[in-house]
Amino acid sequence: MAPVEGERQYDLALFGATGFTGGLAASYLAAHGPGEMRWALAGRSRAKLEAVAAGLDGPASAPDLLEADAGDPASLAKLAGAARVVLTTVGPYALYGESLVAACAAAGTDYADLTGEPEFVDRMWAGYHEEAERNGARLVHCCGFDSIPHDLGAYFTVSQLPEGVPLRVDGYVRSNASFSGGTYHSAINAFARGRKTVAAAKERRRLEPRPAERRVHAAKARVSREPELGGWSAPLPTIDGGIVRRSAAALDRYGPDFTYGHHLLAKHLTSIAALAGGVGAVALLAPLPPTRKLLLKAKSPGEGPSEAERARSWFKVTFVGEGGGERVVTEVAGGDPGYTETSKMLAESGLCLAFDDLPPLAGQLTTATAMGDQLLSRLRAAGISFERRDPPS
């Protein structure tokens, strides 16, 4: 990885700090960043940035304020050139994210976002992976609930299994939280862009090299009763499964033949049926402009639940891993996934990229390949648990 040339003004910059999740990430960085951290908040409105900065409290020094706009590539190039690491909460990323990725790839600046949009991730790989590799930039997408608990959870589970043998891991997701506004808008836009999503995936498959002597598979989709886990499982077709499999393709530790299945876990089969019906209806309505407009009005991307509501929310992801005659059960657990924990994950990813001794890699990377054990340690210290939960024999 080529080093970033010259001294940057900032260790870290947060773009989108005036949004709901961006504000939470800014508060976390102020409270948990090192006192000597040189950092900045960036967004369109200086007045709003000043309001966010005035509410920060913690050992980190006061941030500088930078005006930048997703529609102004020159301002994003200036932002990328000023910082060693740029974090962004500005989505939907398929609509507003490309210019910042381009700026970071060109400047050799590490980048992390909260996207859960497969089309965006695939397009950014095709467009900027090679340039980022040449310039020493790490482009790390999906640094929130999509997909850190799943990617690092599978990574942690694999570390408990034998080396050099075929492995299978299944992840089962449970939560009592509602979708965040940003996630909701990203999902609606993703449904509306179905053809573009398929085209981007096809182009990436055409271009991306595969491991020569190792195989990585998706588990067969099925609905099934899971007595040990206390519920029913169904395939969860989010970006998370693909991220886990990309980590497996990049890291030899996942073995010569690796299979991953990503599932929703619910107590009752009727809950799965109701969710499937709702998703199916949205998939039919989102491509139509009039109904898409109504769907987008249902939830604002810039608003979020109260602190009390977030305090009642939780998530758990249970992983069942098998290989070499051994079986392990692990669990990743935390609080409110859509806002509190997502902002924490993004902030810790930024701190990890800025200050930790990481593998000498560049290009578009997953959280497991870019930060692995270092980010896992940070998140555990921040209160997100990664534990082995084998049932008694």
DSSP string, 192-212: HTHHHHHHHHHHHHHHS---S
pLDDT range class, residue 160, cuts 50, 70, 90? very high
Task: Give the sheet arrangement for strand 83-88, strand by strand.
Answer: 64-67, 39-43, 10-15, 83-88, 110-113, 138-140, 363-365
Under the banding of pLDDT at 50, 70 and 90, the label for residue 162 is very high
C-alpha distances in Å from residue 327, one per residue of 160, 161, 170, 322, 388 = 9, 8, 11, 4, 11
Confidence label for 2 from pLDDT (cuts 50, 70 and 90)? very low
Q: Residue 232: pLDDT band by 50, 70, 90 thresholds?
A: very high
What value does the mean pLDDT take over residues 270-294? 81
For the structural domain made of 10-145+341-379, what CATH number should be given? 3.40.50.720
pLDDT at 303 (0 to 100): 65
pLDDT band, very low/low/confident/very high, at 31 (cuts 50, 70, 90): very high
pLDDT digits 0-9 by tens, 239-270: 999 999 999 999 999 999 999 999 999 988 88
Q: What share of the chain in percent tops pLDDT 70?
A: 95
What share of the chain has pLDDT > 90, as a percent? 76
Residue-by-residue DSSP string for 63-129: PEEEE--TT-HHHHHHHHHHEEEEEE----HHHHTHHHHHHHHHHT-EEEE----HHHHHHHHHHHH
**pLDDT attached to residue 393:** 54
- Residue 158 has φ and ψ, to the nearest 5°, of -60, -35
Residue 1 predicted with pLDDT over 50: no
**91 and 182 Cβ atoms separated by less than 8 Å:** yes
pTM assigned to the model: 0.92
Cα–Cα distance for residue pair 287/188, rounded to 1 Å: 9
Q: In Å, what is the CA distance from 258 to each residue of 211, 214, 217, 355?
A: 12, 8, 6, 32
| Residue 392 near residue 175, CB atoms below 8 Å | no
41 has which bridge partners? Answer: 14, 65
Could you give the CA distance from residue 169 to residue 245 in angstroms, rounded to a whole number? 10
Mean pLDDT rounded to a whole number for the chain:
92
Each residue's pLDDT tens digit, 70-85? 999 999 999 999 999 9
- Torsion, Cα of 119, 120, 124, 126 (10° steps): 10
Give the start-to-end residue ranges of the domains of the chain. Answer: 10-145+341-379, 149-337
d(C-alpha 322, C-alpha 158), whole Å: 9
On whether the CB atoms of residues 108 and 85 are closer than 8 A, the answer is: no
Check whether 3 has a pLDDT greater than 50.
no
Tokens of 313: 């929310």
Tell me how far apart the alpha carbons of residues 167 and 27 are, in angstroms, rounded to a whole number: 40
Arithmetic mean of pLDDT, 86-105: 96
- Please provide the distance, in angstroms rounded to a whole number, between the alpha carbons at the two ends of the chain: 47
pLDDT confidence of residue 301: 67
Q: Helix-strand-coil percent breakdown of the chain, rounded to 5?
A: 45, 20, 30
Average pLDDT over residues 267-287: 81
